[in-house]
Amino acid sequence: MRAVAEKDREQILSIYSDAEALKFQASRTISTIDEADDLIVNFTNGFERRLFIRWCIADKLNDEIVAMKNVERREYLGANHNFEYDNDVVKTIKVTGEVVQDVIEYLVNT
């Protein structure tokens, strides 16, 4: 895992312009490199302000993003989302487990 960096801008655009890739997130799709740059700034600011971490899991061989991981503080979620936190934790654990399984399978098979 590592922080998302400016060098990832094309990959961030690719990921966040794909509605299917975002189906488990509340994120909207983007369509420009400027929007990808804005997301990277947002990710960095969220980490620096200790609100959330949105890091990537990168392939060790080519350093390309293979998955994104998001961890948010309970206070941040409660202030910005209208849902029952405990229910979302259950969904997040399930989705995270599925993502981790997919990442492991990818890394084992490449």
Q: What is the pLDDT of residue 46?
A: 84
| DSSP state string for 45-84 | HHHHTTSEEEEEEE-TTT--EEEEEEEE-HHHHHHH--S-
Tell me the one-letter amino acid at 2. Answer: R
CB neighbours of residue 54 within 10 Å: 20
- Judge contact between 62 and 103, C-beta under 8 A: no
What's the pLDDT tens digit per position in 26-65?
A: 778 999 999 999 999 999 988 888 777 888 888 889 999 8
The range of the structural domain enclosing residue 39 comes to 2-109
pLDDT greater at residue 7 or residue 91: 7
**Percent of the chain residues past pLDDT 90, beyond the cut:** 29
Q: What is the largest CA-CA distance in the chain?
A: 41
Q: What is the pLDDT of residue 76?
A: 52
The total number of structural domains in the chain stands at: 1
> Who's near 27: CB < 8 A, 6+ residues apart?
16
Q: What is the C-alpha separation between 85 and 78, in angstroms, rounded?
A: 7
> Who's near 32: CB < 8 A, 6+ residues apart?
13
Global confidence as pTM: 0.65
